[in-house]
């Protein structure tokens, strides 16, 4: 996609030479540039390039997706060493001076007025408190012997045995792992983000801990993390505690490998769990996919213009010049470029009995898609900042001071994914409207009912698709509702406002799964429609010589009888015009 510069040029060129997609520069092309950067990230790994070197400032969205979903490796940058050592040393000096530091020699949250006797146990105590999530137990790990009723068996023991038997026999309502545990890609992304933000050097955590986190990731030792339980207020405390627990060697983490457990020094446990990494990871995957869907929606628009024998007039640069919204400008330019040289588009200003202009799902596509592109651009900016932000508390400033604040509040991510989910609904609405237009013979400009290629009275090929996309769009409409407005006060009133960023990000992933199915249905329908349109055009191309021959033969006797009685030149011109008029009406009625 082209840059949001308000200018329109004749074509869009998608090349690797585009300005890189990164966190310090606005993406010049939010769709194609993201794809280019993502392709580079994958190619680097395939080519044996060195791992990404995290320093707290160089992680971009495309690279994060490559790590999370395509196993790109990551390690600490040498440049991060000095900053991290400096902050860890500053904390030790503060502790030795007797300073009261939250989460180091105090309790947590609403219990921050408590002063623990054993500071070295604070991190372990924190992890125990945060391991409240639900993850599936391996089959057979909780065996209860089945018992028969007799005098030696208590009623309680018999009931427990019966309950265990019923539980084993029951078919689950949903997959226990899928319904309770985060997908591996989410956890991989969270591990990469957490390590990168800690490498920024403001969290008073040692290099050995962060490098161990990256080692787990690179060796593909990914802990099971509960799907639910975070309100994304003080960051993602519980989900991150399961990642930290893998480093600490907690047996509840279902990882059994030859990996030395790490003993946390003061604040290191808090540094690991107090942050937005999980929310940011899920949001990043969602926003990346949404950008791809937005680009696909423009391709599908161009294909639909051809399939419906529409016109490219609606995407003429003139419209963006007189209404220069950035998203509209980019979308119109892309679609106009995709249609360049098409032999299936029509001009509607010469035919009778034909719509002078296309219906809204085509004619206003750039105006409809444009605002979603602008929302996705802002979402991209927000998540790009978050990927390289320190989000725990307290933090160590450059001059060694302990600063207590609230960077863990994930409201910026909630804002990003709520916009993204709304964009999914909006794009889906356009795809739904246009797909029904393709299937309906009253609106598809001469294509068969239900896009059938055989006998219409015996086949209803795409009628099922018509029903399915209605279900998908209805679900998208429900999922587009805001999550961030459902806040409940938590943790002794301390977390009275909380972002619900992870919940919102999860629902955005769900919305994208639905939108992907809707896009796939539209793609299949428009490909079928294009095939039928091509067959129809080929038919008329072969029919025209036969039509002209029959026309001339029918009028041959008449012209011979009239020969010499009038101006032959004038009469032949009128006959030629009549022939064109009849041909236009024949093709118009058929269409």
| Domain covering 279-539 in this structure, CATH number | 1.20.200.10
Whole-angstrom Cα distance, residue 204 to residue 69?
30
Q: What pLDDT is attached to residue 289?
A: 96
Confidence at residue 6, expressed as pLDDT on a 0 to 100 scale: 34
The predicted model gives 539-555 an average pLDDT of 82
pLDDT at position 175, please? 83
Asked if 241 and 464 touch (Cβ cutoff 8 Å), the reply is no
pLDDT of residue 584 exceeding 90: no
**pLDDT computed for residue 562 by the predictor:** 57
Q: Count CB neighbours of 164 within 10 A.
A: 16
Q: How confident is the model at residue 545 (pLDDT cuts 50, 70, 90)?
A: confident
- Residue range 352-370, pLDDT digits in tens: 546 678 999 999 999 999 9
Catalytic one among 21, 70, 102, 242?
Answer: 102
**Ramachandran class of 491: left when φ > 0, alpha when ψ lies in -120 to 50, beta otherwise:** left
Cα–chain center distance at 360: 26
Residue in the structure block whose two tokens are 């307290």? 394
Q: What is the pLDDT of residue 17?
A: 30
**Domains in the chain: boundaries:** 83-135+181-276, 138-174, 279-539, 545-590
Q: Confidence class of residue 117 from pLDDT cuts 50, 70 and 90?
A: confident
pLDDT tens sequence across 126-183: 888 899 999 887 655 555 455 555 556 666 776 777 777 777 777 888 888 889 999 9
Closest by Cα among 241, 202, 195, 178 to 58: 195
Q: 151-165, 298-312, 401-415, 574-588: lowest mean pLDDT where?
A: 151-165
Q: Which CATH class is domain 83-135+181-276?
A: mainly alpha
Local confidence band at 528 (pLDDT 50, 70, 90 cut-offs): very high
The pLDDT > 90 percentage for the chain reads 58
For strand 52-54 and strand 74-76, is the pairing parallel, antiparallel, or unpaired? Answer: parallel
Note the pLDDT of residue 293: 96
For residue 376, the model assigns a pLDDT of: 96
**How many angstroms separate the Cα of 3 from the Cα of each of 12, 32, 241, 296, 454?**
10, 10, 41, 17, 45
Q: Are strands 74-76 and 395-396 parallel, antiparallel or unpaired?
A: unpaired
Q: Which two tokens stand for residue 451?
A: 């896009």
Residue 241, pLDDT > 60, answer: yes
| Residue 22 clears pLDDT 50, i.e. is over it | no
> Which tens digits make up the pLDDT trace of 254-300?
556 677 888 899 999 999 999 999 999 999 999 999 999 999 999 99
Cα separations (Å) of 270 from 103, 105, 364, 392, 401? 7, 12, 51, 8, 17
CB atoms within 10 A of CB 127: 22
Mean pLDDT across 214-228: 94
Residue 23's pLDDT is: 33
**What is the C-alpha to C-alpha distance for residues 422 and 368, in angstroms, rounded to an integer?**
13
Provide the b/e sequence for 416-448 (b: ≥16 CB within 10 Å): bbbbbbbbbbbbbbbbbbbbbbbbeeebbbebb
Task: Say if residue 394 is preceded by a cis peptide, omega within 30 of 0.
Answer: yes
pLDDT at site 590: 64
Q: Which helix (H) or strand (E) holds 37?
A: helix 32-46
- Tens of pLDDT, residue by residue over 468-524, are 999 999 999 999 999 999 999 888 888 899 999 999 999 999 999 999 999 999 999
Look at strands 402-403 and 395-396 and give their pairing: antiparallel
Indicate the average pLDDT of the chain: 84
**Direct distance between the N- and C-terminal alpha carbons of the chain, in angstroms, rounded to an integer:** 33
Query: In this structure, what DSSP letter does residue 315 have?
Result: G
**Which residue, among 389, 532, 509, has the nearest Cα to 448 in the 3D structure?**
532
Selected residue with higher pLDDT from 569 and 280? 280
- Contact between residue 405 and residue 394 where contact means Cβ atoms under 8 Å apart: yes
Sign of CA dihedral 575, 580, 586, 589: negative
pLDDT digits (tens, 9 = 90+) for 54-107: 999 999 999 999 999 999 999 999 999 999 999 999 998 988 888 888 878 787
Q: Alpha carbon 264 to chain centroid distance? A: 36
The question of whether 102 is a catalytic residue gets the answer yes
**Could you read off the pLDDT of 197-207 as tens digits, one per residue?**
999 999 999 99
């Amino acid at each position: 996609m082209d840059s949001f510069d308000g200018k329109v040029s004749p074509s869009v060129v998608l090349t690797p030479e585009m300005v890189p997609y990164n966190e310090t520069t606005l993406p010049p092309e939010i769709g194609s540039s993201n794809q280019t950067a993502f392709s580079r990230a994958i190619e680097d790994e395939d080519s044996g390039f060195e791992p990404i070197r995290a320093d707290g400032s160089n992680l971009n969205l495309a690279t994060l997706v490559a790590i999370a979903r395509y196993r790109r490796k990551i390690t600490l940058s040498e440049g991060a060493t000095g900053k991290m050592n400096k902050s860890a040393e500053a904390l030790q000096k503060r502790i030795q001076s007797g300073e009261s530091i939250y989460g180091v020699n105090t309790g947590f949250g609403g219990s921050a007025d408590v002063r623990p006797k054993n500071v070295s146990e604070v991190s372990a105590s924190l992890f125990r408190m945060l391991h409240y999530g639900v993850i599936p137990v391996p089959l057979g790990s909780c065996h209860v012997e089945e018992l028969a009723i007799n005098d030696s068996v208590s009623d309680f023991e018999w009931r427990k045995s019966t309950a265990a038997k019923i539980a084993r026999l029951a078919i689950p309502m949903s997959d226990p792992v899928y319904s309770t545990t985060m997908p591996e890609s989410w956890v991989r992304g969270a591990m990469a983000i957490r390590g990168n933000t800690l490498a920024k050097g403001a969290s008073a955590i040692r290099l050995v801990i962060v490098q161990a986190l990256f080692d787990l990731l690179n060796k593909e030792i990914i802990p099971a993390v509960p799907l639910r339980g975070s309100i994304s207020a003080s960051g993602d405390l519980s989900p991150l505690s399961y990642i930290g627990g893998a480093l600490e060697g907690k047996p509840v983490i279902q990882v059994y490998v030859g990996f030395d457990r790490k003993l946390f020094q003061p604040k290191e446990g808090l540094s690991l769990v107090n942050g937005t990494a999980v929310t940011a990871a899920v949001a990043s995957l969602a926003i990346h996919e949404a950008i791809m869907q937005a680009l696909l929606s423009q391709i599908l628009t161009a294909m639909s213009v051809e399939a419906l024998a529409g016109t490219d007039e609606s995407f003429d640069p003139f419209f963006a010049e007189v209404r220069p919204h950035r998203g509209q400008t980019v979308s119109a330019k892309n679609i106009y470029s995709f249609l360049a040289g098409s032999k299936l588009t029509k001009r509607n200003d010469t035919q009778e009995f034909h719509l002078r202009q296309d219906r809204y799902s085509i004619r206003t596509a750039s105006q409809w898609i444009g605002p979603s592109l602008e929302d996705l651009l802002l979402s991209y900016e927000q998540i790009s900042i978050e990927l390289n932000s320190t989000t725990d508390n307290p933090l160590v400033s450059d001059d060694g001071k302990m600063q207590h604040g609230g960077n863990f509040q994930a409201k910026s991510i909630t804002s990003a994914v709520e916009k993204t989910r709304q964009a999914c609904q909006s794009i889906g609405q356009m795809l739904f409207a246009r797909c029904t237009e393709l299937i309906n013979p009253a609106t598809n400009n001469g294509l068969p009912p239900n896009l059938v290629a055989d006998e219409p009275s015996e086949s209803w090929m795409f009628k099922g698709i018509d029903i399915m996309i209605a279900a998908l769009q209805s679900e998208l409409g429900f999922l587009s509702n805001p999550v961030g407005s459902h806040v409940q006060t938590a943790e002794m009133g301390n977390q009275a406002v909380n972002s619900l960023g992870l919940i919102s990000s999860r629902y955005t992933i769900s919305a994208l799964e639905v939108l992907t199915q809707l896009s796939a249905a539209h793609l299949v329908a428009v490909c079928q429609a294009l095939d039928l349109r091509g067959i129809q055009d080929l038919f008329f191309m072969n029919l025209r010589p036969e039509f002209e021959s029959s026309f001339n033969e029918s009028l041959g006797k008449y012209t011979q009888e009239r020969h010499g009685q009038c101006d032959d030149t004038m009469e032949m011109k009128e006959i030629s015009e009549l022939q064109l008029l009849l041909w236009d009406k024949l093709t118009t009625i058929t269409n």
